[in-house]
Amino acid sequence: MFSTPWISRLTALLLLALVIFGVYLFLVEPLVVGYDAIDREIDDAQEQLAHFERLAAMRPVVAQQLQQTDSQQTAQGYYLGGGTDALAAAGLQDRINALVAANGGTLRSTQPMPGVEEQGFRRITLKVQLTATIEELFDTLYELESGAPILFVEDLDIQSRIVRRPTSDKAGANESQPIPLLAVAFDLSGYLPVRPQ
């Protein structure tokens, strides 16, 4: 077919190179790429393992700091006391009752709602209904939201009505003067830390 021996040799060499290239392309290169990918995965896994080992070594220190922070916050009164939902709700009822009475309002009802777990805490909620003047309501809400433990007032519903309250003037005569009285309903919530089991 080919007339000269050097062309035959050149063709044989080209065919051999083509076969070697094909073998490398279809057999060797996928193995090399696969081994490189496995090596990278092993390196990543070893880095993650070293990271987790460092985190595990820090666990006792972090747990101690967390316990100190928790005891400081409990001591500072950020959370409701009582330890259980029922005791925390009772303490919250006592607080709202005392505040409303101290500010001159009238507590109509409180209804504890079931506790809800939120991000490691128990949310204790009371549905509260009271009547008060604007000033009495302002003072009560201010003391609830600015005092300790931290409390949240939500779903506030205020309705106004005019009532006559007796007032006395300096001469000692009793008169009835119309005063706007507010019928107020809201949800009062606080948080109870969940103790680890």
pTM of the entire structure?
0.55
Distance CA 112, CA 92 (A): 9
Which of 15, 49, 76 terminates a domain? The answer is: 76
Same domain, 101 and 173: yes
In this prediction, residues 38-64 reach a mean pLDDT of 89
Calculate the average pLDDT of the chain. Answer: 83
Residue type, 180: P
Q: Does pLDDT of 74 surpass 80?
A: no
Kindly indicate the confidence band of residue 11, based on its pLDDT and cuts at 50, 70 and 90. Answer: confident
Same domain, 59 and 101: no
pLDDT 10s digits, 81-105: 777 888 889 989 999 999 999 999 9
Q: Does pLDDT of 186 surpass 80?
A: yes
Q: Is 172 helix (H, G, I), strand (E, B) or coil?
A: coil
Q: Could you tell me the residue range of the domain that residue 64 belongs to?
A: 1-76
For residues 189 and 125, is the Cβ–Cβ distance under 8 A? yes
Same domain, 37 and 97: no
